[in-house]
Amino acid sequence: MAKLNFYLREKTKDGETPIILFVSFNSNRLKYPTGKVIHPKFWNDQKDKQQAREVKEFPLASIFNKNLKYIKGTAEKELELLTNELQRPPSTEELKKRLDEVLNPSEAITEEENRPPTFLELFKRFIKESEEGTRLTPSGKRFDKRTIFKYNTVYKILEKFGKGYRLSFETIDKNFYTKFVESLNKEQTVKNESGKKEVVKKSYALNTVGKYVQVLKTFLTYATENGYNSNLFFKSKQFKAHKVPGFSIYLTESEIQDVYKLDLTDKPYLERVRDLFIIGCWTGLRFSDFTSIKPENVQGDFLHIKTFKTGESVIIPIHTYIRKIMAKYEDKYPNSLPPAISNQKMNDYLKEIAKQVDSLKVPVEVEGIKGGLKVTSTKYKWELVTTHTARRSFATNVYKSGFPAISLMKITGHRTEKSFLLYIKVTPEENAHKLLEHWNKSVLKVS
């Protein structure tokens, strides 16, 4: 009868140590690396336990133990199956090969060194699992390309940062956080094409730094749940992924009309970009969605769209301006809409278009965060127009028209009223006027 037990490689180590599965069968003994590591102070070595202690300092012990239970159960099952297949007890080499095939620990453990992965090695695995679909979103969906791109960006940043900092799970502390965030906030000098250090790369915006810190927190949660990390400093309030409301504009219905009426016949490429932007202004769709409308999405007077970012299904009435644009391109493209270009290129062209609109040649005070402090600068409104301005303009204009916020959220895809109200661009004065109009329309009169 086979016996399976877990043991720590170094019981007295002051730090994380690998957990080994000992499989004793038919006078043979296989020492199998589980790929899990733990600090000895969190390990219960009693013979009837051999698992992580469920203590306050190690809150993910329950998940950790379920992983160990799965490994042990799988090894027991595969030993029995292999014995039946071979009609004899397998050798330790045969059993190890089978367990490697089923548990696939080769991604986590370097065989020649028989060690757990380094911080960056595990981050690579984290990205790979996200790409291949073996790691899914909390809602059970695959990660999109933009998320994978962001993961790879953070990996490259950490790889560079690790050249001047000993990067490991144990060193993720307050000192790491401070230095990591400081490195993102510093302007960097990089080499130009001739090899001279002349090009200055601007520091990342505060929200971008926050996004990268959040990716790091997500990875560390993954590492902890899989038993590779027991350092929980990343869960503290000091390890914060900052996020502040970004400055943005919206175009009024009058300004959208001015953009729509602009004569661009001498530059067809700008005319197509303008028409795409107008479609965004009257659908409220994101760039990835209003540039991907297919003929089958058009059903009578409505657009039926499954949004790319969230997978939400939305139904949007087709506005008069969109009907006119579709009529213009009816015989040119299958979906009767102008073809898409890259987001970056479209943003460049939009500024070229907006600069020609007189109503957008007005100064705007721009608020931002630099070095942790609020700063303001002045720009013309046309300089601030981007593809995302279309979606924000739609939401704000429709809301200001008196359309119920809850109903509007069904079209924009916002899941909470709080997030929606933060999204629209309505000033306190406009809200006050909106309330006054409501009172003036009321049938109740004060005697």
Q: What percent of the chain shows pLDDT beyond 70?
A: 88
Instruction: Compute CA 300 distance to the chain's CA centroid, rounded to the nearest angstrom.
Output: 35
Coil, strand or helix: which one is 128? helix
> Does position 363 have pLDDT exceeding 80, yes or no?
yes
Instruction: Give residue-wise pLDDT tens across range 44-99.
Output: 888 778 898 888 877 778 888 888 888 899 899 999 999 988 889 999 999 988 88
Q: pLDDT class for 447, splitting at 50, 70, 90? A: very low
Least confident range of 25-29, 177-181, 237-241, 401-405 = 401-405
| Residue partners of 179: CB distance under 8 A and separation at least 6 | 161, 165
Span 430-438, mean pLDDT? 72
| Residue partners of 330: CB distance under 8 A and separation at least 6 | 336
Distance CA 388, CA 251 (A): 11
Instruction: Give residue-wise pLDDT tens across range 183-242.
Output: 888 765 555 555 555 555 556 777 888 999 999 999 999 998 888 888 899 999 999 998
Least confident range of 79-93, 274-288, 382-396, 415-429 = 415-429
Element (H, E) at 51: strand 51-52
Q: What is the pLDDT at residue 46?
A: 81
Distance CA 435, CA 441 (A): 10
> Does position 417 have pLDDT exceeding 80, yes or no?
no
Q: What is the pLDDT at residue 108?
A: 42
- How much is the pTM? 0.57
Q: pLDDT class for 132, splitting at 50, 70, 90? A: confident
Q: What is the pLDDT at residue 110?
A: 45
> Are the beta carbons of 394 and 414 closer than 8 angstroms?
no
Instruction: Give residue-wise pLDDT tens across range 248-301.
Output: 889 999 999 999 999 999 999 999 999 999 999 999 999 989 999 999 999 999
Q: pLDDT class for 112, splitting at 50, 70, 90? A: very low
Measured CA angle at 351 (ends 350, 354), to 5 deg: 85
The one-letter amino acid code at 104 reads N
Buried b (16+ CB within 10 A) or exposed e, 205-243: bbeebbbbbbbbebbbebbbebbbbbbbbbeeeebeeee
Please provide residue 373's backbone torsions phi and psi, each rounded to the nearest 5 degrees.
-115, 150
> Does position 354 have pLDDT exceeding 90, yes or no?
yes
> Are the beta carbons of 282 and 321 closer than 8 angstroms?
yes
Instruction: Compute CA 236 distance to the chain's CA centroid, rounded to the nearest angstrom.
Output: 21
> Are the beta carbons of 262 and 255 closer than 8 angstroms?
no
> Are the beta carbons of 104 and 269 closer than 8 angstroms?
no
Contacts 24+ apart (CB under 8 A), 155-159: 155/120, 155/123, 155/124, 155/127, 157/184, 157/212, 158/119, 158/120, 158/123, 158/216, 159/120
Q: What percent of the chain shows pLDDT beyond 90?
A: 44
**In angstroms, how far is the first alpha carbon of the chain from the final one?**
93
The closest alpha carbon to 371, from 188, 153, 204, 201, belongs to 204
Instruction: Give residue-wise pLDDT tens across range 144-162.
Output: 888 999 999 999 999 999 9
Q: What is the pLDDT at residue 317?
A: 93
Average pLDDT, the chain: 85
Pairing type for strands 3-8 and 363-370 reads unpaired
Measured CA angle at 284 (ends 278, 288), to 5 deg: 85
Enumerate domains of the chain plus CATH numbers. 3-107 (no CATH), 119-235 (1.10.150), 253-438 (1.10.443.10)
